[in-house]
Amino acid sequence: MKNIYHIILILFAGVFSASAQQESQYSQYMYNTMSFNPGYTGSREVLSVLGLYRTQWVGLEGAPKTMNFSAHSPIGERFGIGLNIANDQIGPTKNTGATLNLSYTILGSTDVKYSFGVSGGFDNFTVDNDKLTRRDMDDPLMSGVVTQFSPNVGVGFYVHSHNWYLGVSAPKLLKTEYYKEVKNTTYSTQTHFYLLGGYVFDLNPYLKFKPAFLVKAVQGAPLAVDVSGNFLINDKFTLGAAYRWGASASALAGFQITDGIQLGYGYDHDVSGLRAYNSGSHEFFLRFELVNKSKSRLVTPRFF
C-alpha cells in the first residue's frame, strides 16, 4: 500500500477534477482514430476490426487500464457505419462507454475525400467508494458502489487523400455532472476537442515514412500534444517513436502478419514526475480487416 498516496493524487487530479484530461489516451492513436473522430468511420474502405489494451504506469497501484474495441465498414461509396466500445479502470472507478458512428463522404474532384461523422451512445460510470480513503467513513453518500448512466453525442470531420489526412472532432458534446448531492464535489465531464493530421512520404519502393500529430484541448487544462514518426518497411514492418509533450516518450512497432491481420505494440517511458513510481506503460493492438483481394490496396496497404 506504499503507493496509495500517489494514487489518491492521481484520482483527484485526473478523474475527480473538471480541469483535467478525462478521455482515454493512446500512444498508438493513429490506429484507432474512429474512437475519437466519427468522420473516420468507414474510411479504410473495408471492414476493419480493432482490439486494443493499454496498461499505464506499471507498478503504480490503481493506475489506469484501458480496453478498446472498434469495428467499422463502408456502406457503398459514401456512407460508413461503426461501433466503438471502451472500458477505462482507474483505482476504484470504472467507465464503460459505447457509441454508434455514422459517416457521409463527399468525393472531391481529385483523390481527396471529405467525410462528416456523427456518433451517439452512452457512458456507464461506476465508483466503489469503499476503496477510497474517506474523511467521513459514516457518510452514506460516499459509501458502497455508485453507478451513473449518461448519454452522449459527438461530431467529426475527416479529409484525406492517398498520402495525407487531417481531422477535427468533438466525440462527447454533452456535459454530465457526478456526485451532485455531495457537498463541495465538482467532478463533471467536459467537451474534448481533437485535431489530428499526418503525411506519408514514399522514400523508395520499400520504405515509407509518416509523421503525425494529435492535439487534445479541453477547458481548464493545457493543450495535450502528441507527435509521432513511423517507418513502414516493405509493407510489413512498422517501426517508430512518439512523444507526448511533458508526459512520455514511446517506442512503437508493428507487423503485418497477413494481408488482413496486423499486430502492434507500444512502450511509453514516463518523463513526468511520476517516473520514479512506475516502470512505464504498455499498449497492444490487433487489427483484422476483411480485405478484397481484387483491390490494389492489398499490395500497398494504406498507412493510416
Quote the pLDDT of residue 7: 45
As a whole number of angstroms, the distance between CA 294 and CA 276 comes to 52
Q: Which long-range contacts (CB under 8 A, 24 or more apart) does 181-185 make?
A: 181/141, 182/141, 182/142, 185/16
In 3D space, the residue among 196, 241, 190, 187 whose CA is nearest the CA of residue 216 turns out to be 196
Domains identified in the chain and CATH numbers:
4-298 (2.40.160.40)
Quote the pLDDT of residue 6: 44
Going from the C-alpha of 98 to that of each of 66, 120, 291, the distances in angstroms are 14, 8, 26
Going from the C-alpha of 29 to that of each of 41, 45, 61, 225, the distances in angstroms are 15, 19, 25, 12
Quote the pLDDT of residue 16: 39
Quote the pLDDT of residue 136: 55
As a whole number of angstroms, the distance between CA 304 and CA 300 comes to 12
The residue to which cell 459514401 is assigned:
78
Dihedral Cα 35, 38, 42, 47, nearest 10 deg: 30
**272-302 pLDDT, tens per residue?**
888 888 899 999 999 999 877 655 444 445 7
Torsion-angle region of residue 279: left (phi > 0), alpha (psi -120 to 50) or beta? alpha
Quote the pLDDT of residue 176: 77
Q: What is the CA radius of gyration of the chain?
A: 20
Quote the pLDDT of residue 297: 47
* Segments of the chain scoring below 50 in pLDDT: 1-20, 183, 296-300
Q: With contact defined as beta carbons under 8 Å apart, do 103 and 40 qualify?
A: yes
Quote the pLDDT of residue 130: 72
Q: With contact defined as beta carbons under 8 Å apart, do 303 and 232 qualify?
A: yes
In 3D space, the residue among 26, 8, 20 whose CA is nearest the CA of residue 189 turns out to be 20
183's CB contacts (< 8 A; 6+ apart) are none
Q: What percent of the chain has pLDDT over 70?
A: 82
